[in-house]
Structure 1
Amino acid sequence: MSQPSNWFGQPRGLTILFLTNMWEQFSYFGMRALLVYYMTTTLLFGQEKSSSIYGLYTAFAYFTPIIGGTIADRWLGKRRAVIIGATVMAAGHFMMAFEPAFYFALATIALGNGLFLPTLPSQINDLYTADDPRRPWAYNVYYVGVNVGAFLAPLVCGFLGETYGWHYGFAAAGVGMLAGLAIYLWGNRYLPSEAARQVLPPAKAGTHRGRDTVLLLLGIGLAVTIFRGAYEQIGNTFALWMRDDVDRVIDGVEVGASMFFSLNPLLVMVMTPLLLARWKKQAERGRELSVMHKMAVGALIVAASYLLVAGAEAFSGGGRAHWIWLLSYFLLFTLGELYILPNGLGVFARLAPPKLGATTVASWYLAIFTGSLLAGQVGRLWSHFGHAQFFVMLAAIASCAAVLLYLLDGPTKRVLAQAQARVADDLTDVPEGIARPQNA
């Protein structure tokens, strides 16, 4: 059984990973909040070019983890990969403060992200025993860290960028990355030793891989790719709509468009504990939705959020929509996000074979890579459609993803049950001298 923890009812290492991730996300979302505005106003790129660059950057930021996860698993180890990746990313963020280094800076951030992104969350599973009831929800707790950083980022980086100059906002993102690195280095003693986490002898290392698992991961990846084609518009075409088509005057003061991005992470922090409490009660009554049904519901809720924006555009009659529509959109969008994204990451992590945790988690980011590429191409249609029509199209894309996720429910239940059974068998079979996992 799991051992008690002194930090918020969870292993101490989860707090370290939470805080490290929080500051990394501060740097990422701080830069992302400014990127499209910076390209269209300072670099004077057209809308289609800006959308393409945004899509390519976010795509390759999630492609490099596929290579980085393999490097971490085979050679560097998770800890060194996080440290090197964070250092490289910080350098890239500081480069964004210089216009001639724009493309090189984006490439540098993407490369550092490749080492950092898959290796940090892949350490969560090592904090728990296989039968620990806290483990499935640990990724929702971790996801709050994503959104604490994402909440602070537009307020700090967005304010500095829009008030004093874009380069100040980009530099603040670099400072945030360094803060995350410092926390990780300080908290290393609370993280599990990689050597001590060897649960299975090398001969058994591949027993968790199978045809059914690979096919399931591909199916979920396809559904998430489709979903991200709509989801990723929040930082792309939706950002343009928010800037140009929304009346953002509140009590006589016009609020900067980038600062509204803080609504999404703020709502994540508020809604996550309420949602976890609801799921816990449902589980106690035997009525909790399966993971795939949760993800399908999330995609449908995001679809509804885009239909709401389409309604706002139609209701405004060519004028600027009231900011209350923006608030309503973020409420729906965030609720849908909480149903789909943390649960998807959790499924991939729970299916990870021993010694391939970072690689398997990296395959989750492959879906984000392909989805971001799709989103970049979808975003190019912004200038060719009416805005209401465009948002209806996004709702249709998210709904298609929901249907596919729903159809994957049966295979997911079966493969997760098989994986859990194999873990239980392996732990009863561990030879002497091989350490069993313990709580940090």
Structure 2
Amino acid sequence: MSASLILCQCGSCIANIFTDTNGNETHGKLITKRSKQRHNQPCQSNFQSPSHHPHRSSLRNHLTHDLGTNAEEDVESDDTSSLMDTSSGSQNEADSAPVLCMVAIFIAWLYFFCNLSQDKCRMARNFLLRILKHQQKQRMNRLALPQDPRTLIRMAVPTFDLRRIPYCPVCFSLYQLKQLPPKCTYRETPQCNPCNTELFLTRSNFRSIRIREGKMNPAYQIHPCDAPFYSIPIGTYITQTLDTWLRWFLQLDGIEDQMSKWSDEVLAQNDERIIDIQQGNSWKEMKWKTKAEDAKSLQLCFSLFVDWFNPRHNKLAGKQQSIGIVCMACLNLPPSIRQKFEYVFIAGLMPGPQAPDMSTIGHLMSPLVDDLLAFEGPMNIPTSNFPEGRLIETRLLTLIGDSGARHKVGGFASHSANYMCPWCMIRDTDLSKVKLGPLRVGAE
């Protein structure tokens, strides 16, 4: 090692491997002293003086005292993956599996909820391994812990059955991938012209090759006009199956106990106070194919929420785009946890850049409607309290959303409309005696 060069192990240089005169490999890079100061500036900006961050300063001093004077330098290196020796045996692998699962969930929590970067998540992973070694005071069996935070996040987040359905970007008609026509064939009415929107994008496999020293391998001399082409759908509508989500949801520990406990609390109300939707007439008059008294049956009611948002930060001077979300919440849960994100079913993400209108939103809602119709009859699903299976029925009870979402999804008119429904001739004066009126014809 030259006297004028020093070893740097910052976030950029740690990816390199340096071999010293003795043949030992070390993560880092040899740079000048001036470059070392410049590389340390981003790190110093993140850690301010102790007067500004007393808790952070005390934490660093505590970790430095416990892990040694070179703890911060060691924790930023990738050598922490080799802190634990490799040991054969299925028992050791079984013992390390819970630790690996907890570390993966913790790293995913830091990334999603604490908004930490991947570099910070990698440093947190290295800190955990240092703490585990220091706590046991001995060599440990090596954990098969991935070094990339993205791999840890994929391990912690459960996988669901996502459906990617090709769609038309104009009328939002959905097609099967094996039966996808070149152009959209949707007609709003039999007399209207078809949509005729292109449903495929053409991509080229040609990649330009750099010519070095005026020479080029003849095997790569492909003219762009002769390059092979392939077609892909112009867009896909991503949805989640209700069956897969219910099988995961009902396997959660204590979720069925929460439902039954809240149902008993609502039924125990002796006064006339209304504390939940389960006391309403619509809930009580809901028709089911199974009996509520049967312990092996579970009747679930859901609320549907639809809304659109601008991914461009909703600025009037910026781009105006709309992306929608379709989600459902289980009304059997207590109100305190009913709307929590971990218990909400994300049915689909409506693609942009424009929101569908009242006549085309039915195309995007059709996968969810098919899933709800499949659960109209009881379906046997294993649950946490009934591993052998329980008869599950689902119903959609309420629609939640702003005026635009209610008008599009439910077909409701505005508060000042004379006709309350777009499909029949009922007027607002007959609101007190709402019933099915004469249907409108196609010309109307």
Tell me the TM-score normalized by structure 1: 0.24
Larger of the two Rg values belongs to structure? 2
Tell me the TM-score normalized by structure 2: 0.24
Bigger fraction of residues in strand? 2
Bigger fraction of residues in helix? 1
